[in-house]
């Protein structure tokens, strides 16, 4: 059993799912669940970072 598995959700829209078959597992590790098992689902889109210039313009 690996200590952790890292999954990037960058670029995924709200409602998108990552399936077990999409995971990059360490060498020697095998899935014990069906490949189509949802392991995570994005609930909300990632907020965009606001630059200082945009923040100042919004305050004006």
pTM beyond 0.85, yes or no: no
pLDDT of residue 59: 59
9-52 confidence digits (pLDDT tens): 888 999 999 999 999 999 999 999 999 999 999 998 667 776 66
pLDDT of residue 2: 86
pLDDT of residue 39: 95
**Alpha carbon distances (Å) from 19 to 4, 6, 30, 38, 51:** 16, 13, 14, 4, 34
pLDDT of residue 19: 96
pLDDT of residue 44: 84
Q: What is the 3-state secondary structure (H, E, C) of 7-41?
A: CCCCCCCCCCEEEHHHCCCCCCCCCCCCCCCEEEE
Round to whole Å and give the CA distance between 13 and 41.
Answer: 10
- Domains of the chain by residue range: 17-59
């Amino acid at each position: 059993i690996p200590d952790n598995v890292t999954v990037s959700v960058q670029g995924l829209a709200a409602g998108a799912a990552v399936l077990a078959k999409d995971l990059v597992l360490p060498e020697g590790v095998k899935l014990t669940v069906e490949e189509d098992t949802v392991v995570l689902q994005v609930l909300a889109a990632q907020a965009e970072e606001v630059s200082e210039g945009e923040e100042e313009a919004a305050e004006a």
